[in-house]
């Protein structure tokens, strides 16, 4: 059957199970959008900035495990996607971005709204394409979705010249994908798995360090089985949060720069790290030279290039986490490890990182705790980047997979709100809270219009401290409190919300916190709460940059009120 390039794109998308597209139209994608009404099964969400389209597609992909899709026009539309694409790339999120391009005769002529988006996104996509003939369209779109969701997932961009959208060709849907240079290894090598099992069975103080790979692979149940069988404590990376129930007795929390003290101490003292679907990011290891000095390392990851990249590995296993864990667990001896657990429990009791002190003012971590209590731990939480993100990671307990949605690798401020849009559309029956900072929130604040237009029932909690808080914290600790360019005079967020047609309240007093959260939950539609929190509250523990994870700074115990006289105590 004869079809246009644009029709072929949508035909392929329908076959891929696409339900929703986030995007903004413009000149070069007009023919694409003009074809959209022929496919009523596809829901298009009009965002207010292309970065929001990419983040929404990202949030959608993270909660559903499906490929997120976004559209943008050529030139500025395409470049506006870049941050969102880079964000998805660093966090291995499956995404297909389709950008319009100037018509073929204009390519290379610096035409109006022409930009070399395949060149620009080359290092931040898993792969990208420019479709020069509509005859290549079906194969390209099919390949793009296949690449995006298989192996180590990532964003794939397809750039389409305007006249290719309208070019008519014979359409036949390709039955299979064959890419000579792409065959991800799924099965772990049996010899390596045997070796790993032996090392695990012999270890005295082993620990499982789980990352987002567990979530991507859908391996939470397998991980639980392994941990429970061998009684191995589990710690997670920031993006690994929710891959193992946080209320589970074996879960000792997040590690890293703002990881929980006991988790970091365990990592420092362990004799075996079983790293599962994670990549030893510098925010996890801090100083790699002093990282886990006494530990052997088993590293399970689908991406061979991650193995040995940052830390030395004793037993590498390349493969899909779920497949490898199934095989590995068969060889693991069931046992007790009481001494090691006593040690961990002692650390946890002596270093209660999630303890929230008494305070007259509103502590941001207290707000997060109350959201946890009111939602009974059943919400999907998206975050901005900075202090709000760390408090959301530390003080909400995530028991179900893919309920913590956060920008890890790129650390993209402004991620929270559009990601919440994607998450709510992906999981309409779930409660979705966006816990954001006032700085982060203002970076994509225009997406309130998207929320209002689509009536997306996202709940927004702004931990408003009037600062770019995390940067201010660094200035306090490492730059002699010179608060250069960190104080923010934010707008009245409640009025802003109202102007967009969204209900909101401000909370100035501690006693109003819970009623405000309850009110938000009772509201059918979107709701915004502006929490005026302690302006100079810090995130603890904190590993100072460049130091080992054993050099973390914890919250001073005697501190009653946040003031400038804080004495930093260094434990260990």
Partner 1 sequence: MAPAKHTLIALVEDKPGVLNRMASLFRRRSFNIESIAVGRSEVPNISRTTIVVDGTTTSVEQVRKQLDKVVDVVRVVELSAEDTISRELALIKVKANSVTRSEIMQIVDIFRANIVDVGSDSLTVEVTGDENKIDSLLTLLQGFGIRELARTGRIAMTRGLLSPLQIEKDKPGTRAKKKKE
Is 113 considered catalytic here? yes
- The distance of closest approach from Cβ of residue 328 to partner 1 in the complex, given in angstroms and rounded to an integer, is 16
Which residue's CB is nearer to partner 1, number 293 or number 308? 308
Asked if residue 190 binds partner 1 (CB under 8 A), the reply is: no
- The distance of closest approach from Cβ of residue 507 to partner 1 in the complex, given in angstroms and rounded to an integer, is 45
- The distance of closest approach from Cβ of residue 308 to partner 1 in the complex, given in angstroms and rounded to an integer, is 6
Stretch that binds partner 1, among 26-34, 173-181, 512-520, 558-566 (CB under 8 A): 173-181
For residue 503, the cross-strand partners are 527
Length of the chain measured in residues:
572
Q: Which of 38, 112, 360, 495 is catalytic?
A: 112
Binder to partner 1 among 181, 484, 557, 558 (CB under 8 A)? Answer: 181
- The distance of closest approach from Cβ of residue 139 to partner 1 in the complex, given in angstroms and rounded to an integer, is 13
Strand, helix or coil for residue 305: helix
Number of H helices, E strands in the chain: 22, 22
Which residue's CB is nearer to partner 1, number 19 or number 303? 303
Asked if residue 126 binds partner 1 (CB under 8 A), the reply is: yes
Which residue's CB is nearer to partner 1, number 56 or number 134? 134
Place of tokens 């939470």: 220
Which residue's CB is nearer to partner 1, number 249 or number 305? 305
Which residue's CB is nearer to partner 1, number 156 or number 232? 156
Strand, helix or coil for residue 397: coil
Place of tokens 């810090």: 538
Binder to partner 1 among 189, 506, 510, 519 (CB under 8 A)? Answer: 189
Binder to partner 1 among 87, 192, 205, 365 (CB under 8 A)? Answer: 192
Q: How many residues bind partner 1 (CB under 8 A)?
A: 24
Asked if residue 104 binds partner 1 (CB under 8 A), the reply is: no
- The distance of closest approach from Cβ of residue 128 to partner 1 in the complex, given in angstroms and rounded to an integer, is 9
Closest to 272 (Cα-Cα) out of 205, 225, 319, 328: 205
Closest to 420 (Cα-Cα) out of 506, 155, 430: 430
Within 335-483, residue ranges assigned H as helices are 338-350, 364-374, 387-395, 416-426, 438-443, 447-454, 469-478
Dihedral sign, CA of 543, 549, 551, 554?
positive
Asked if residue 150 binds partner 1 (CB under 8 A), the reply is: no
**Exposure pattern of 488-519 as b/e (b: 16+ CB <10 Å)?**
bebeebbebbeebebbbbbbeeeebbeebbeb
Asked if residue 40 binds partner 1 (CB under 8 A), the reply is: no
Asked if residue 411 binds partner 1 (CB under 8 A), the reply is: no
Dihedral sign, CA of 445, 447, 451, 456?
negative
Is 50 considered catalytic here? yes
Asked if residue 282 binds partner 1 (CB under 8 A), the reply is: no
Closest to 299 (Cα-Cα) out of 279, 271, 326, 269: 279
For residue 22, the cross-strand partners are 45, 70
Write out the binding residues for partner 1, residues 295-324 only, by CB under 8 A.
Answer: 303-305, 307-309, 316, 318
Q: Which of 126, 142, 162, 424 is catalytic?
A: 162
Which residue's CB is nearer to partner 1, number 140 or number 375? 140
Asked if residue 121 binds partner 1 (CB under 8 A), the reply is: no
Dihedral sign, CA of 208, 210, 213, 218?
positive
Stretch that binds partner 1, among 24-32, 115-123, 265-273, 490-498 (CB under 8 A): 115-123
- The distance of closest approach from Cβ of residue 142 to partner 1 in the complex, given in angstroms and rounded to an integer, is 14
Asked if residue 180 binds partner 1 (CB under 8 A), the reply is: yes
Asked if residue 194 binds partner 1 (CB under 8 A), the reply is: no
Could you tell me the two tokens for 42?
């596809």
Residue 448: how many other CB atoms lie within 10 Å: 25
Asked if residue 176 binds partner 1 (CB under 8 A), the reply is: no
- The distance of closest approach from Cβ of residue 143 to partner 1 in the complex, given in angstroms and rounded to an integer, is 9
Binder to partner 1 among 122, 221, 499, 572 (CB under 8 A)? Answer: 122
> Left (φ > 0), alpha (ψ -120 to 50) or beta: where does 317 sit?
beta
- The distance of closest approach from Cβ of residue 382 to partner 1 in the complex, given in angstroms and rounded to an integer, is 29
CB 37 within 8 A of CB 21: no
Q: Which of 19, 106, 113, 195 is catalytic?
A: 113
Asked if residue 147 binds partner 1 (CB under 8 A), the reply is: yes
Asked if residue 229 binds partner 1 (CB under 8 A), the reply is: no
206: cis peptide before it, omega within 30°?
Answer: no
CB 137 within 8 A of CB 131: yes
Could you tell me the two tokens for 31?
């023919």
Asked if residue 281 binds partner 1 (CB under 8 A), the reply is: no
Asked if residue 123 binds partner 1 (CB under 8 A), the reply is: yes
Asked if residue 119 binds partner 1 (CB under 8 A), the reply is: yes
For residue 367, what are the contacts with CB-CB under 8 A and spacing of at least 6? 461, 463, 513, 531, 533
Is 112 considered catalytic here? yes
Stretch that binds partner 1, among 36-44, 180-188, 251-259, 373-381 (CB under 8 A): 180-188
Closest to 257 (Cα-Cα) out of 377, 160, 394: 394
What is the signed CA dihedral for 482, 559, 563, 466, rounded to 10 degrees? 80
How deeply is 372 buried, as exposed, middle or buried, from its count of CB atoms within 10 A (0-12, 13-18, 19+)? buried
Asked if residue 352 binds partner 1 (CB under 8 A), the reply is: no
Question: Could you give the string, one character per residue 453-492, with x where binding to partner 1 holds by CB under 8 A and - elsewhere?
Answer: ----------------------------------------
Stretch that binds partner 1, among 94-102, 114-122, 228-236, 407-415 (CB under 8 A): 114-122
Closest to 208 (Cα-Cα) out of 164, 257, 266: 266
Crossing angle of helices 5-16 and 137-149, rounded to 10°: 30
Asked if residue 185 binds partner 1 (CB under 8 A), the reply is: yes
CA distance 552 to 572: 8
Which residue's CB is nearer to partner 1, number 199 or number 449? 199
Residues making contact with partner 1 (CB under 8 A): 118-119, 122-123, 126-127, 130, 147, 179-183, 185, 189, 192, 303-305, 307-309, 316, 318
Active centre residues (catalytic): 50, 112-113, 162, 470
């Amino acid at each position: 059957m004869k079809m246009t390039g644009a029709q072929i794109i949508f035909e392929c998308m329908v076959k891929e199970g696409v339900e929703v597209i986030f995007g903004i139209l413009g000149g070069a994608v007009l023919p694409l959008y003009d074809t959209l009404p022929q496919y009523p099964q596809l829901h298009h969400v009009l965002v207010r900035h292309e970065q929001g389209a990419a983040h929404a597609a990202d949030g959608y992909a993270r909660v559903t495990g499906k490929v997120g899709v976004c559209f943008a026009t050529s030139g500025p539309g395409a470049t506006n996607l870049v941050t969102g694409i880079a964000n998805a790339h660093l966090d291995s999120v499956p995404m297909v971005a389709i950008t319009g391009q100037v018509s073929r005769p204009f390519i290379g002529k610096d035409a109006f709204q022409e930009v070399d988006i395949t060149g620009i996104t080359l290092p931040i996509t898993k792969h990208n394409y420019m479709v020069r003939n509509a005859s290549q369209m079906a194969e390209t779109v099919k390949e793009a979705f296949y690449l995006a969701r298989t192996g180590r997932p990532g964003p794939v961009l397809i750039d389409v010249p305007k006249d290719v959208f309208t070019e008519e060709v014979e359409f036949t849907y390709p039955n299979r994908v064959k890419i000579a240079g792409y065959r991800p290894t799924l099965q772990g090598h049996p010899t390596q798995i045997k070796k790993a099992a032996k090392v695990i069975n012999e270890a005295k103080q082993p620990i499982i360090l789980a990352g987002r790979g567990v979530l991507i692979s859908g391996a939470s149940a397998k991980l639980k089985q392994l941990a429970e069988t061998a009684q191995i404590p589990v710690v997670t990376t920031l993006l690994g949060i929710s891959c193992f129930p946080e209320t589970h007795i074996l879960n000792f929390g997040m590690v890293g720069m703002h990881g929980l003290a006991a988790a970091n101490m365990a990592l420092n003292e362990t004799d075996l790290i079983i790293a599962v679907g994670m990549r030893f990011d510098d925010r996890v290891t801090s100083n790699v030279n002093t990282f886990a000095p006494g530990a052997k390392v088993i590293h399970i990851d689908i991406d061979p290039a991650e193995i040995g990249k940052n830390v030395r590995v004793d037993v590498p296993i390349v493969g899909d986490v779920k497949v490898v864990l199934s095989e590995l667990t068969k060889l693991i001896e069931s046992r007790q490890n009481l001494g090691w657990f006593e040690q961990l429990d002692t650390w946890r009791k002596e270093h209660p990182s999630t303890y929230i002190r008494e305070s007259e003012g509103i502590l941001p971590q207290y707000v997060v705790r109350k959201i946890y209590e009111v939602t009974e731990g059943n919400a999907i939480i998206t975050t901005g980047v900075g202090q709000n993100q760390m408090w959301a990671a530390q003080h909400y307990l995530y028991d179900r997979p893919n309920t913590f949605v956060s920008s890890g690798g790129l650390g993209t401020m402004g991620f929270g709100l559009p990601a919440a849009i994607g998450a709510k559309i992906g999981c309409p029956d779930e409660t979705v809270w966006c816990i954001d900072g006032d700085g982060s929130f203002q970076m994509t604040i225009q997406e309130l219009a998207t929320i209002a237009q689509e009536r997306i029932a996202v709940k927004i909690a702004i931990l408003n401290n009037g600062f770019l808080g995390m940067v201010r914290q660094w200035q306090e600790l490492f730059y002699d409190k010179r608060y250069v360019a960190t104080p923010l005079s934010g707008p009245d967020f409640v009025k802003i919300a109202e102007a967009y047609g969204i209900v909101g309240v401000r909370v100035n007093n501690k006693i109003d916190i819970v009623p405000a959260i309850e009110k938000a939950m009772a509201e059918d539609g979107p709701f915004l709460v502006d929490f005026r929190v302690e302006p100079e509250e810090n995130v603890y523990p904190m590993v100072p940059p460049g130091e080992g994870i054993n050099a973390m700074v914890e919250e001073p115990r005697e501190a009653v009120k946040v003031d400038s006289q804080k004495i930093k105590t260094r434990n260990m």
